[in-house]
Chains A and B, each alone.
Chain A
Amino acid sequence: MSSDPSITPELISEHGLTAEEYDRIKEIIGREPNYVELGIFSVMWSEHCSYKNTRALLKGFPVESPRVLVGAGEENAGILDIGDNLAISFKIESHNHPSAVEPFQGAATGVGGIIRDIFTMGARPVCAINSLRFGDLSNSEVRRLFRGVVSGIAHYGNCFGIPTVAGEVYFDQSYEGNPLVNAFALGVLRHDQIARGAAKGVGNPVFYVGPATGRDGLAGAAFASQDLTEESAEQQRSAVQVGDPFMEKLCMEACLELLATGAVAGIQDMGAAGLTCSTCETAARGGTGVEIDLAKVPQRSPGMTPYEILLSESQERMLIIVEKGREDEVKRIFDKWDLPWAEIGNVTDTGQMVVKNHGEVVADLPAAKLADEAPVYHREAKEPVYLDEVRNFTLEEIEDCDDPKSALEKLLEWPTIASKNWVYRQYDHMVRANTMVNPGSDAAVIRIKADSVPGDDAREDFPEKIIALAVDCNATHVYLDPYEGSKASVAECARNLACSGALPIGTTDNLNFGNPHNPELFWQLKESVRGLSEGCTAFDAPVTGGNVSLYNQNPDGAIDPTPTVAMVGVVEDEAHVTTQWFKDKGDAVILLGEPVGKGDILYGLGGSAYLQVIHGCKNGKPPVCDLGIERTLGTTLLGLIQSGLIKSAHDCSEGGLAVTLAESCFSELHGRNTPCFLGADVDLSSIVDIRSDALLFGESHGRIIISTSDIDAVKTVERAKLMGVPAQRIGTVGGDQLKVKLFNEEYAWEIAGLHDLWWNSIGNAMA
């Protein structure tokens, strides 16, 4: 390769590798790498592919349960048993940096990538959710990114035909210039349909299927593993891939059809680091070698170099290892779907990843070492200085609220709390005809029916299942206390599932943090992982996979640490599916949990939306999350739901009790422009010795507002108490106002007015 640049310290550094890492490479291969090999190491040892800065930490996650069929880190996504020989595969993954540079394609290909991870496992993708973070909507650049990301997700998901059933969107200045786009997908399969990404069987041919390789997305994984600067964004625009959901839909249908034939020995998508990662990972997993010739790879533009072909992240491509002698089945199925395919190589017993170009060897590297022996760093962690200020914050600096009436209105209008209808109405959330609870309640609920399984399940009486999904992270709380805030993210997810009638069974997480070389930022990460681990352990919801996205910062500093948690639960019976809005006039309103967390000198106001919106301050120790209390609360609520007592359940989170009550009054949507209103008369006057702002807007954990028929109220309260959960009837559903009586004052809001502020806020900002 005479035209390849020679390896200089500058070139090594441009590839994101340190001098020590380069020495390690030389040690592994026993010589100097060539330019192509340097590129391969660069992407394989990027944080995105190797988790070199986080692998040691992630070992702390709980990863086992009797349901785990494929565990975290084994394959592209984990798989959990849901009974009757059925299983689900799910994972969340970030596409933050591409979305910052090109929001539409960045977000679209984020969705495409996670869908591929799921069908690579042999599962049919049946639903998607997402978690998004942007700066303040008053900034036109933020609005451009927000609009682009949402339409990119809509474009890809809608065209592919996957319902986007839930999500969360937060707006905070720390994300200005570095939005977060975390996409989640879930698929369904039978136990006997699990596919593996291993290159098994020496002599088996290796097929490339999907569209031709182009120069788009060159070294995207390496790009994602550096700080985002204006310069890097401009230079790296070519690192953003271009998505084609139509192609992916065909590719998925063809792959599922092919997997059903039994002709597949191994399958792997070409995601981050494209052809490089897929060949070396399949060889590493299979304990084999792989030899490919790049000249056989379909190419979109002439004159592509081996370096470019190997590192391209062109989308919708798959690597398939086929049982020798069954090549014709691949050809038949991919021809049927009019998809390009090419036989590009074969499995060897050398343990080497050998890449040729027109027969000439351009790279020859030990596959297992390349995939598994990336350096592992134990970064320095140091408690951030800003936490001193956080700890010293007291409420003495802040007067109690003199106008709760307008405070609630402002909170409901705050984009982070306001209705996300502007977002989800752009997503097809009903395709596949399984969505039982649409976006707008605590968790999405979908059913799993025969056609959710690849190839349609042939069982006469298919055992339908119901699952619920939620995604949460209050990054302000995480910023102010990474450990408590992270526990609370898990707890909130679990509460949302319980409110929907589901028992949590598994978790996938997306760790979005700043530069790990900064000890204070690394401390956030370390503390956060500790909190997440304890949380997932407490709910028996092991982590089955996930993603780490570091270097999320712009020149002004790092983002708030954002460990996004997505949790999946199982609903036992259709009758248990519960939504958050009040159902009938005359029903009892009951508060489960302590009105205010015990021993919290800030009464739940630390890091609250109330402090941010009304006092413009993001400070104070956030409420402590007691996982024992949360677990008891969840199982108690689920028991009550399963007894048929509960008509609605909505957990308290941002904006506290007042926002939860208001949302319970107005969040049901019957149809276009047709919300349903049911007021409530609430009496909190028995709760004394607490500031009214804390009682109304504090964000203590472990609280859920439920409603029951009047006749069941006493029984419900008694049962909850018997289980050790504080419970009290606080009011009655009815009327067209939300009335709240405190020990010192009484307030009333018109439901219709509150609804309109909440419903239209984001739409107005985007108009």
Chain B
Amino acid sequence: MNFAVLQFPGSNCDQDCVHVLRNVMGYPTQLLWHKENNVGDADAVVVPGGFSYGDYLRTGSIARFSPVMGAVKEFADNGGFVLGICNGFQILCEAGLLPGALIRNRSLQFRCEHVYLKVATYNSPFTSQIPEGKLMRIPIAHGEGNYFCDANTLDEIEANDRILFQYADREGDITDHANPNGSLKNIAGICNAERNIAGMMPHPERAAESALNEKDGRLVFESLIQSLNPASTTA
């Protein structure tokens, strides 16, 4: 099982994703330069966080035109798994692979802190291995994470069980107080209709090791690995 982590100019969580997939989860993982036009032998693609192209103009808006994004689209059209994290989520929205947009945090400031996530559905390759009822504690770090879409889209996302994560308080309640950026319905992550493309603002790769006092983010990668190869046993 091989992973590819995209590398745009300005990506800065690319190494973190490679580290977790390769050294923590133990799978071969390659960086994929933005000028490449195929994803090679990758079984899953991670679009990492950072400030691709400096996030000039609008977050993710330039990265979507990179040659590699054409390859990712083709890969996803054929059912390949794609996970976008933070800036990666923004890029997937800009590329039209996920609905909606991530706009400026309502605080108008960058926010870096640990948040609690309620898992809204276990029916996805990205959440299937998360124990039911588990409240996830994972950091966020973004200035534009305020998820927005029109009412019809939101209805469709909700009706089709496509919300993956919602910001919650420590009791697991979805409250406005627990919403760090103003996202509609406290949305922290969603998937596409076919359920093979996901985007999330929180950083599971920063919460996957006991050395950092964090383990919850691992569950996202374990889910992905299990979905790619149901026979695999994850630690």
Query: Are the CB atoms of B169 and A674 closer together than 8 Å?
Result: yes
Q: A449-B19, A670-B170, A674-B169 are in contact. Are A161 and B114 (CB under 8 A)?
A: no
Query: Are the CB atoms of A159 and B170 closer together than 8 Å?
Result: no
Q: Which of A418-468 contact B (CB under 8 A)?
A: 424-436, 447, 449-451
Of the candidates A246, A427, A428, A435, the one whose C-beta lies within 8 Å of that of B54 is A246
Query: Are the CB atoms of A672 and B113 closer together than 8 Å?
Result: yes
Query: Are the CB atoms of A673 and B177 closer together than 8 Å?
Result: yes
Which residues of A are found within 8 Å of B79, using beta-carbon distances? Answer: none
Distance between B110 CB and nearest chain A CB, rounded to angstroms: 5
> Please, what's the 1-or-0 string for A239-260, where 1 marks a CB less than 8 Å from any CB in chain B?
0000011110110000000000
Q: A160-B12, A244-B54, A428-B141 are in contact. Are A670 and B211 (CB under 8 A)?
A: no
Q: Does A338 contact B (CB under 8 A)?
A: yes
Q: A244-B54, A426-B109 are in contact. Are A250 and B10 (CB under 8 A)?
A: yes
Complex: how many Å from CA A674 to CA B233?
A: 35
> Please, what's the 1-or-0 string for B136-168, where 1 marks a CB less than 8 Å from any CB in chain A?
010101010000000000000000000000000
Q: A451-B15, A673-B178 are in contact. Are A433 and B205 (CB under 8 A)?
A: yes
Of the candidates A154, A245, A337, A430, the one whose C-beta lies within 8 Å of that of B110 is A154
Q: A249-B10, A431-B12 are in contact. Are A671 and B109 (CB under 8 A)?
A: no
Query: Are the CB atoms of B15 and A432 closer together than 8 Å?
Result: yes
Q: B-side interface residues toward A, CB under 8 Å?
A: 9-10, 12-13, 15-16, 18-20, 23, 49-51, 53-56, 109-116, 137, 139, 141, 143, 169-170, 177-178, 180, 203, 205-206, 208-209, 211-213
Q: What are 11 A-B interface contacts by the 8 Å CB criterion?
A: A158-B143, A159-B54, A246-B51, A425-B112, A425-B113, A431-B49, A432-B15, A433-B205, A671-B116, A672-B116, A672-B178
Which residues of B are found within 8 Å of A449, using beta-carbon distances? Answer: 19
Q: A158-B110, A250-B10 are in contact. Are A574 and B211 (CB under 8 A)?
A: yes
Q: State how many residues of chain A have any CB contact under 8 Å with chain B.
A: 38
Q: Does A151 contact B (CB under 8 A)?
A: yes
Query: Are the CB atoms of A435 and B212 closer together than 8 Å?
Result: yes
Query: Are the CB atoms of B12 and A426 closer together than 8 Å?
Result: no
Complex: how many Å from CA A244 to CA B51?
A: 12
Query: Are the CB atoms of B109 and A151 closer together than 8 Å?
Result: yes
Q: A-side interface residues toward B, CB under 8 Å?
A: 151, 154, 158-161, 244-247, 249-250, 337-338, 424-436, 447, 449-451, 574, 669-674
Query: Are the CB atoms of A670 and B112 closer together than 8 Å?
Result: no
Query: Are the CB atoms of A250 and B9 closer together than 8 Å?
Result: yes
Which residues of A are found within 8 Å of B56, using beta-carbon distances? Answer: 246
Distance between B10 CB and nearest chain A CB, rounded to angstroms: 5
Residue of B56, B110, B177, B206 with most chain A CB atoms under a 10 A cut-off: B110
Given contacts A250-B10, A430-B141, A673-B177, 12 further A-B contacts (CB under 8 A): A158-B112, A158-B143, A159-B10, A244-B54, A427-B112, A428-B112, A428-B141, A431-B16, A449-B19, A671-B116, A671-B137, A672-B114
Which residues of A are found within 8 Å of B18, using beta-carbon distances? Answer: 451
Query: Are the CB atoms of B169 and A673 closer together than 8 Å?
Result: yes
Query: Are the CB atoms of B19 and A671 closer together than 8 Å?
Result: no
Which residues of A are found within 8 Å of B112, using beta-carbon distances? Answer: 158, 424-430
Which residues of A are found within 8 Å of B205, using beta-carbon distances? Answer: 433
Query: Are the CB atoms of A426 and B111 closer together than 8 Å?
Result: yes
Complex: how many Å from CA A161 to CA B18?
A: 15
Query: Are the CB atoms of B113 and A671 closer together than 8 Å?
Result: yes
Complex: how many Å from CA A574 to CA B210?
A: 10
Which residues of B are found within 8 Å of A154, using beta-carbon distances? Answer: 109-110
Which residues of A are found within 8 Å of B20, using beta-carbon distances? Answer: 433
Complex: how many Å from CA A432 to CA B203?
A: 11
Complex: how many Å from CA A35 to CA B209?
A: 60
Complex: how many Å from CA A158 to CA B212?
A: 20
Distance between A354 CB and nearest chain B CB, rounded to angstroms: 35
Query: Are the CB atoms of B212 and A432 closer together than 8 Å?
Result: no
Query: Are the CB atoms of A670 and B114 closer together than 8 Å?
Result: yes
Complex: how many Å from CA A424 to CA B203?
A: 18
Query: Are the CB atoms of B13 and A159 closer together than 8 Å?
Result: no
Complex: how many Å from CA A426 to CA B110?
A: 5
Q: A246-B10, A246-B54, A436-B212 are in contact. Are A672 and B180 (CB under 8 A)?
A: yes
